[in-house]
Amino acid sequence: GMVMFYFIKKAIDKKNDNGSGEIAVQQPITQENISIVLDAYSSAVKDKADKSVINDLNKSFADSYGLRVYQRKSDEKFVVTDLSGKEVKVV
Protein backbone atom coordinates (compact mmCIF):
# COMPACT_ATOMS: atom_id res chain seq x y z
CA GLY A 1 0.00 0.00 0.00
CA MET A 2 2.69 2.50 0.96
CA VAL A 3 4.66 1.52 -2.13
CA MET A 4 1.60 2.26 -4.27
CA PHE A 5 1.20 5.59 -2.48
CA TYR A 6 4.85 6.44 -3.15
CA PHE A 7 4.58 5.78 -6.88
CA ILE A 8 1.28 7.64 -7.25
CA LYS A 9 2.69 10.61 -5.34
CA LYS A 10 5.78 10.58 -7.58
CA ALA A 11 3.58 10.48 -10.69
CA ILE A 12 1.49 13.41 -9.44
CA ASP A 13 4.61 15.41 -8.59
CA LYS A 14 6.09 14.65 -12.00
CA LYS A 15 2.90 15.84 -13.75
CA ASN A 16 3.06 19.10 -11.79
CA ASP A 17 6.68 19.74 -12.73
CA ASN A 18 6.68 21.13 -16.25
CA GLY A 19 10.16 22.61 -15.92
CA SER A 20 9.08 26.23 -15.59
CA GLY A 21 8.19 26.14 -11.91
CA GLU A 22 4.51 26.60 -12.76
CA ILE A 23 1.83 24.22 -11.58
CA ALA A 24 0.34 22.06 -14.32
CA VAL A 25 -3.22 22.73 -15.43
CA GLN A 26 -5.71 20.67 -13.49
CA GLN A 27 -7.20 17.71 -15.34
CA PRO A 28 -10.94 17.34 -15.97
CA ILE A 29 -12.90 15.26 -13.46
CA THR A 30 -13.22 11.78 -14.96
CA GLN A 31 -14.07 8.34 -13.59
CA GLU A 32 -10.43 7.37 -14.11
CA ASN A 33 -9.18 10.31 -12.02
CA ILE A 34 -11.77 9.58 -9.34
CA SER A 35 -10.53 5.97 -9.18
CA ILE A 36 -6.90 7.08 -8.96
CA VAL A 37 -7.45 9.42 -6.01
CA LEU A 38 -9.80 7.01 -4.26
CA ASP A 39 -7.38 4.07 -4.55
CA ALA A 40 -4.40 6.10 -3.36
CA TYR A 41 -6.28 7.67 -0.43
CA SER A 42 -7.85 4.40 0.73
CA SER A 43 -4.47 2.64 0.51
CA ALA A 44 -2.86 5.34 2.64
CA VAL A 45 -5.65 5.08 5.24
CA LYS A 46 -5.47 1.28 5.32
CA ASP A 47 -1.69 1.49 5.78
CA LYS A 48 -2.29 3.87 8.70
CA ALA A 49 -0.22 6.66 7.13
CA ASP A 50 0.40 9.75 9.23
CA LYS A 51 -2.27 12.45 9.06
CA SER A 52 0.28 14.83 7.50
CA VAL A 53 0.99 12.35 4.69
CA ILE A 54 -2.73 11.98 3.99
CA ASN A 55 -3.15 15.77 3.99
CA ASP A 56 -0.23 16.14 1.55
CA LEU A 57 -1.77 13.49 -0.65
CA ASN A 58 -5.10 15.34 -0.65
CA LYS A 59 -3.31 18.59 -1.57
CA SER A 60 -1.73 16.81 -4.53
CA PHE A 61 -5.15 15.51 -5.56
CA ALA A 62 -6.59 19.02 -5.41
CA ASP A 63 -3.73 20.48 -7.44
CA SER A 64 -3.64 17.74 -10.07
CA TYR A 65 -7.20 16.49 -10.35
CA GLY A 66 -9.42 19.09 -8.70
CA LEU A 67 -10.59 16.44 -6.23
CA ARG A 68 -10.40 15.79 -2.49
CA VAL A 69 -11.13 12.64 -0.51
CA TYR A 70 -12.14 12.10 3.09
CA GLN A 71 -13.57 9.31 5.20
CA ARG A 72 -16.90 9.96 6.90
CA LYS A 73 -16.90 9.10 10.58
CA SER A 74 -20.59 8.17 10.62
CA ASP A 75 -20.34 5.22 8.23
CA GLU A 76 -16.58 4.98 7.43
CA LYS A 77 -17.26 5.47 3.69
CA PHE A 78 -14.80 7.33 1.47
CA VAL A 79 -16.18 10.47 -0.15
CA VAL A 80 -14.65 12.09 -3.23
CA THR A 81 -15.56 15.76 -3.70
CA ASP A 82 -14.68 18.47 -6.17
CA LEU A 83 -12.96 21.61 -4.89
CA SER A 84 -16.31 23.31 -4.22
CA GLY A 85 -17.27 20.45 -1.86
CA LYS A 86 -19.82 18.77 -4.14
CA GLU A 87 -19.82 15.00 -3.64
CA VAL A 88 -18.67 13.20 -6.78
CA LYS A 89 -18.56 9.62 -5.49
CA VAL A 90 -19.18 7.77 -2.21
CA VAL A 91 -17.73 4.30 -1.64
- DSSP conformational letter for 24: P
Which pTM does this prediction carry?
Answer: 0.71
CA atoms lying within 13 Å on the CB side of residue 16: 15
Mean pLDDT of 22-37: 77
pLDDT confidence of residue 38: 94
**Residues 23-40 as b or e (16 or more Cβ within 10 Å = b):** eeeeeebeeebbebbbbb
Q: Which residue has the higher pLDDT, 39 or 23?
A: 39
pLDDT confidence of residue 86: 94
Share of residues in the chain with pLDDT > 70 (%): 70
